[in-house]
Structure 1
Amino acid sequence: MIDPLSEVVSLLQPCAPFSKLVSGAGHWRVRRSEAGQPFYCVILEGTCRLAVEGREPIELQAGDFVLIPSSPGFAMSSLEPPPEDVETAPVAQLQGGFRLGVQGGPHEVLVLVGHCVFGSPDAALLVSLLPRLIHVRGEKRLTTLVQLVSDESRERRPAREVILERLLEVLLIEALRSTAGPATSPGLLRGLADERLAVAIRRMHESPTQAWTIAQLAKEAALSRSAFFERFNRALGTAPMAYLLTWRMALAKNLLRRKEAGLAEIAQRVGYSSASAFSVAFTRHVGLPPTRYAQNEADPLMAG
């Protein structure tokens, strides 16, 4: 059976090469607004506050993991933040890491924060299939991973950075897997948590070459056409045919980059009856003809 989440994660190629240990005490706030940079944090000790644009602030506790795949503006602060116009500059510590707020004395919160990288050139399109905010708490497997990350981040053992990077990669994937549920923000994970929709989503991934219609997909999900369309839209934040097109284009881009097949074969493998029909759809969706896209991927200097 095809696993849609595994396929998306495999194409995303997540890794977490950038992390730093941050402690805080007293009143502090840091803001970030780097659009599109995936951000994660692991709460190792204490509590703090996360305020993401367009959402109610949430209190983060020790053991929590947060991933913002495509970062809008957000702020992290002490539970009682300073006034709105006050921001805190992190201060580098002699023993490593950074300190926020009161510099002397014991810390009240300890956080591992960083940016992850999605190796796929098509990351933006794939990230659109994920929830906008992933917050995991109380998952035993995740807690174990957080503890391993915590232990590794505090020690100066040989190959520390390599081990930490690999642990964070596993943590990212486990967090995606643990988040699936009806309370998840719209995206693939929420769709897979719906037993009816999950059947239709898996069928699209198993057979992207099939000329799917709303009626056929609704039948797979054992729902009426209108109920399926509305339920899919609400859960994934996009229409069924738009999701199918997004997935086909992600597969097509991957095949074009790997140069393992000609245009006609790629067209057939992503559900188009001819190379010309595929070229029209690809150009409309991506903004470049497939042949030009493949050339640019072969020679990045040609892009633009």
Structure 2
Amino acid sequence: MTVDPLAEIVMLLEPTARFSKLVECAGSWRIHRETTAEPFYCAVLEGRCRVSVNGQPSMTLQAGDFVLVPAMHDLINESLNAPPAGVTTRPIEVREGCFRVGSEDGLAELRMWIGHCSFGSPDAALLVPLLPQVVLAREPRLAILMQLVGDETRARRPARELVLERLLEVLLIEALRCGGAETTSVPGLARGLADDRLAAALGALHARPEYPWTVAELAAEAALSRSAFFVRFGRTVGLSPMEYLLAWRMALAKRLLCEHDLGIDQVAKRVGYSSASTFSVAFARHAGAPPARYARMCPKGGNQPAGRQK
């Protein structure tokens, strides 16, 4: 069975739209967006600008570029002829969903779609670090997806929330898939999947999370020695193989407890535990509540309870 770990993690994060807007810029300007720890994305439609995320060196963006920041802590977006250090510009709403930055007169020199979304998963704090810190993708079709998100956000059509959820899943997966060599080289799942050897092990782990994997068996999937695999996995993904396996099993267990009418023993078996008691101890240590109580806290409709992350 073929499993895409990246798609699984994005869907498990449960992205929901907060807002999306068009920003037009002219002249000399600088916008400083402070810590939100939420996903931020931006597609440049016309023109050029600079952006610096979480204190990293600035990047020059141009038409067709798409930036995704899964957890934004600090972002500076500015014109190439930016004002003096410390000077920031306040966006002005000129019409619904459209903001002007910098000079209010003349044609816009830069047009971009920006947006924020939230992750509904109680394991977001665990799953987000598996993604790259910043993704830069040079794929114009991502701007089209962003425009669809913006249109759907402002509309009041039937099934709006479901459509937005699916659009955001596609947008995030496309951004992570297209980022490729442009993505920063910090440890995470994207780096692991870019490594052919580790990708084989990750694919096997996601395809059979219930299997009693050992480091040696995962190393065999990667065609590496046990020691070489262990070091390479930790350096590239940012977690040891068994830490990653535990994190993924617990994330799956939470979804199974909330979305399916299954007994604790059935959930335990599906995520690789030989007994309900062993699973219950591991789950309570991870989630802060026994699985039975956690399942009772799930709202009707299958969403996972908020505030349970650890």
1:144 aligned residue:
141
Q: Which runs of 5+ in 1 are unaligned?
A: none
Looking at structure 2, the residues matched to 264 and 147 of structure 1 have their Cα atoms a distance apart, in angstroms, of 45
1:135 CA displacement:
0.9
1:211 CA displacement:
1.8
CA contact (8 A) 2:134 2:184 kept: no
The alignment's TM-score, normalised by the length of structure 2, stands at 0.85
Tell me, what secondary structure is at the counterpart of 2:174? helix
Between 61-70 and 278-287, the greater mean CA deviation after superposition = 278-287
Looking at structure 2, the residues matched to 59 and 160 of structure 1 have their Cα atoms a distance apart, in angstroms, of 37
1:175 aligned residue:
175
1:1-304 alignment runs, 5 A limit: 1-16=2-17, 18-94=19-95, 97-137=98-138, 142-147=139-144, 149=146, 165=164, 169-180=169-180, 184-298=185-299
Tell me, what secondary structure is at the counterpart of 1:282? helix
CA contact (8 A) 2:10 2:172 kept: no
Looking at structure 2, the residues matched to 214 and 9 of structure 1 have their Cα atoms a distance apart, in angstroms, of 25
CA contact (8 A) 2:299 2:305 kept: no
Relative distance call for 1:206 and 1:303 in structure 2 (3 A) is closer
Q: Which runs of 5+ in 2 are unaligned?
A: none
CA contact (8 A) 1:92 1:98 kept: yes
The alignment's TM-score, normalised by the length of structure 1, stands at 0.87
Relative distance call for 1:71 and 1:240 in structure 2 (3 A) is same
CA contact (8 A) 2:52 2:76 kept: yes
Looking at structure 1, the residues matched to 112 and 247 of structure 2 have their Cα atoms a distance apart, in angstroms, of 35
CA contact (8 A) 2:280 2:290 kept: yes
Relative distance call for 1:2 and 1:114 in structure 2 (3 A) is same
CA contact (8 A) 2:20 2:149 kept: no
Between 246-255 and 114-123, the greater mean CA deviation after superposition = 114-123
1:53 CA displacement:
2.0
Tell me, what secondary structure is at the counterpart of 1:116? strand
1:144 CA displacement:
3.0
Looking at structure 2, the residues matched to 98 and 27 of structure 1 have their Cα atoms a distance apart, in angstroms, of 16
1:71 CA displacement:
1.3
Tell me, what secondary structure is at the counterpart of 1:248? helix
Looking at structure 1, the residues matched to 306 and 78 of structure 2 have their Cα atoms a distance apart, in angstroms, of 44
Instruction: In structure 2, give the amino acid aligned to 1:46.
Output: G
1:213 CA displacement:
1.6
Tell me, what secondary structure is at the counterpart of 2:11? helix
Q: What percent of counterpart residues are identical?
A: 52
Relative distance call for 1:241 and 1:38 in structure 2 (3 A) is same
Q: Deviations over 1:89-123 (max 9, x none)?
A: 11111475111111111111111111023343433
Instruction: In structure 1, give the amino acid aligned to 2:119.
Output: F
CA contact (8 A) 2:15 2:168 kept: no
CA contact (8 A) 1:38 1:67 kept: yes
Instruction: In structure 2, give the amino acid aligned to 1:143.
Output: P
Between 10-19 and 71-80, the greater mean CA deviation after superposition = 10-19
Tell me, what secondary structure is at the counterpart of 2:175? helix
Relative distance call for 1:301 and 1:210 in structure 2 (3 A) is closer
Relative distance call for 1:234 and 1:291 in structure 2 (3 A) is same
Q: Deviations over 1:231-281 (max 9, x none)?
A: 111221111111111100110010111142111111111111111211221
Tell me, what secondary structure is at the counterpart of 1:208? coil
Relative distance call for 1:217 and 1:61 in structure 2 (3 A) is same
Between 93-102 and 199-208, the greater mean CA deviation after superposition = 93-102
